[in-house]
Amino acid sequence: MNFRLSEEHEMIRKMVRDFAEKEVAPTAAERDEEERFDREIFDKMAELGLTGIPWPEEYGGIGSDYLAYCIAVEELSRVCASTGVTLSAHTSLAGWPLYKFGSEEQKQKYLKPMAQGEKIGGYGLTEPGSGSDAGGMRTTARLEGDHYILNGSKIFITNGGVADIYVVFALTDPSSKHKGTSAFIIEKDFEGFSVGKKEKKLGIRSSPTTEIIFEECKVPKENLLGQEGDGFKIAMMTLDGGRNGIAAQAVGIAQGALDASVAYAKERHQFGKPIAANQGISFKLADMATSVEASRLLTYQAAWLESNGLPYGKESAMSKLLAGDTAMKVTTEAVQIFGGYGYTKDYPVERFMRDAKITQIYEGTQEIQRLVISRMLTK
């Protein structure tokens, strides 16, 4: 057993932290306010190799692992959770199914430019009528000659509108729910594809979330991902790893809030002493740090399991459950420590608190994580 990160992982942490502090943090509040996605930040991440961390070099990646990827998402989210989820959705939700289920041709055509950061990836599962019940989707795909024709819409799409490539799920056999679902690779320029409403959100406001619409959308037959009927399993397996990316995002948000709180508690004086000298504050900091560390360990463990080819679905659901709740709790305490100042936009903790909330909702609500964990315990 060894709880030390390898030199490679430490190097990645240092590189991403430097990058996040120099290039991402300075504009995080402004991008949040303006709900503005910054493609330049994504391009700079690409230059550093961050857009393809776990993928082999032959597919444009840097040949590292899921732990390194989680560390990167964590460090970005420590200053800007929107940038963290941009990378997470791009890598876990779009890159992963292409890597695992794509043909060699599909990997060269789609995964490679994504890993190199020339293209951004997205993932379309949720629909207006099917959120937690992902199998209740209505979007259909019928085969006509050399094309599938897709009709329907997907909502709450992270990277919606800025992504070039989407992995999307649709019913090829509407009469059989799970077994009638198939996965498709959609290019943003396909006929019949369009981007719909952009959501106005509480948090992660510089990460665009939109609807995507398919109206007689023509998808070449060769863009079927896996086999017909494999779609639901592909969607679920993708989320198994994706959830750990969100756990990493949550750890980063919580760490950012903790760091800001420790600094503030030492410098803010009341009653003639730093507020950190009061147990009411210092014990809060101790509890926050303990929860962050526990969440980080669970997240790294799930990433390590995946990197080593071991089962990780249960652990990934656990890490998201713990880290999401930790992020919410720690950021709320951070606002409390900052008092009135924490409630203003002069400090980043209110943004961290708004950003934390989504980690309890997306890639499966906390309630769905409990369902996944309990099913695995009792099956």
Q: HSE-up of 21 (CA within 13 Å, CB side)? A: 6
- Catalytic pick among 23, 74, 211, 363: 363
Q: Is 183 in the site for ligand CAA (CB under 6 A)?
A: no
Letters for 39-78 (x = contact with ligand CAA by CB under 6 A, - = none) are: ----------------------------------------
CA–CA dist 81, 68 (Å, integer): 17
CA–CA dist 240, 363 (Å, integer): 9
Give the one residue of 117, 152, 313, 324 binding ligand CAA; rule: CB under 6 A.
313
Nearer to ligand CAA, 108 or 301 (CB): 301
Handedness of CA 98, 104, 109, 112 (dihedral sign): positive
Q: Is 355 in the site for ligand CAA (CB under 6 A)?
A: no
Nearer to ligand CAA, 42 or 338 (CB): 42
- Alpha-carbon torsion angle 274, 275, 280, 284, nearest 10: -100
CA–CA dist 91, 339 (Å, integer): 37
Q: Is 158 in the site for ligand CAA (CB under 6 A)?
A: yes
Q: Which window, 46-54, 71-79, 256-264, 368-376, contacts ligand CAA (CB under 6 A)?
A: 368-376
Least gap, CB of 249 to ligand CAA (angstroms): 9
Q: Is 232 in the site for ligand CAA (CB under 6 A)?
A: yes
Q: Nearest 5 degrees, angle CA 310-CA 315-CA 321? A: 160
CB atoms within 10 A of CB 328: 20
Nearer to ligand CAA, 6 or 374 (CB): 374
210, with CB counted inside 10 A (0-12, 13-18, 19+), is buried
Q: Is 363 assigned a catalytic role?
A: yes
Helix/strand/coil for 79: coil
Name residue 153's amino acid: S
Give the one residue of 29, 195, 236, 289 binding ligand CAA; rule: CB under 6 A.
236
Handedness of CA 30, 31, 35, 36 (dihedral sign): positive
Q: Which window, 104-112, 192-200, 290-298, 358-366, contacts ligand CAA (CB under 6 A)?
A: 358-366
Q: Which window, 14-22, 120-128, 277-285, 329-337, contacts ligand CAA (CB under 6 A)?
A: 120-128
CA–CA dist 171, 173 (Å, integer): 5
Q: Which window, 2-10, 19-27, 229-237, 339-347, contacts ligand CAA (CB under 6 A)?
A: 229-237
> Which residues are identified as catalytic?
363
Residues making contact with ligand CAA (CB under 6 A): 89, 93, 123, 125-126, 132-135, 156, 158, 178, 232-233, 236-237, 239-240, 313, 362-364, 368, 371-372
